[in-house]
Amino acid sequence: MEEQKELIINTALSKFKQYGIKSVSIDDICREMGMSKKTFYVYFPGKEELIMAVLEQMNADVERSADKFMEEKTALECITGLMDLHSRVSDVHKIPPFSYDLRKYYPKLYKEHVSNVHLGTKKILMQHLEKGKQEGVYREDLDVEMCAIMFSLIQQSLMQSESEVKTINMRRLARFTMESFIRSIVSEEGSKKLAELLKKSSKPTKSGVDKTGINKVNNNK
């Protein structure tokens, strides 16, 4: 039974990402799966409950990925990887229809989602900051809890930025903000290692796009 429920969630997530939430009906999901609506309602009372389950799975997937990433990478590799991720997903010209519809048509769920992302980010980052202090790349006097809260607020702000989308390149803003944050928490040793990592990640490829996926020419516009 749980396997079937998970399959419904994954099918819905795939279609939501491709077409947006509003354009995808319960009928569309049932048709995709060869399932009757009667069977669908055994697992979910309605579309809003399905969206909630999709969001919960998304958050759980992010947390699992973050845990695995932190196990395999150093603290600075983790944080610079996150910086690159933010710079990609914050590109204002590529706002996913899923996020747009969630914000516009399900504002209550959107607010809950942003709050959950905020709490999840704080939890993950507190673990990460402790790891960085142990490695000696973050300042010994770093207030881990306050730093985690500040970081998650930055993330939340970038997620909600709409007023300046026509005049600001959100990809550049996200990368600049993240880099400024990282530089404020590193130790002297961490600063040297960070400079090496940033130098490697910013080398342009033959196509003129650096390893973070940012076009060096367009990025200066």
**How many domains are there within the chain?**
1
> Residues, the chain, total?
221
What pLDDT, on the 0 to 100 scale, is given for residue 199?
84
Q: What are phi and psi of 13, to 5 degrees?
A: -60, -45
Paired tokens of 134: 């142990």
Domain of 136, CATH number, reads 1.10.357.10
Specify the pTM: 0.74
Q: What is the distance between the alpha carbons of residues 152 and 124, in angstroms, rounded to a whole number?
A: 10
Asked whether residue 211 is domain-assigned, the answer is no
Asked whether residue 64 is domain-assigned, the answer is no
Mean per-residue pLDDT, 145-160 = 80
What pLDDT, on the 0 to 100 scale, is given for residue 25?
97
The rounded mean pLDDT for the chain is 82
Query: pLDDT tier at 151 (50, 70, 90 boundaries)?
Result: confident
| Residue-range definition of the domain harbouring residue 133 | 73-204
Higher pLDDT, residue 23 or 163: 23
Q: Report in angstroms the alpha-carbon separations of 208 from 92, 200, 218.
A: 21, 15, 10
Residues 20, 101 contacting (CB under 8 angstroms): yes
Query: Can you say whether the dihedral through the CA atoms of 198, 200, 205, 211 is positive or negative?
Result: negative
Query: pLDDT tier at 209 (50, 70, 90 boundaries)?
Result: very low
What pLDDT, on the 0 to 100 scale, is given for residue 174?
76
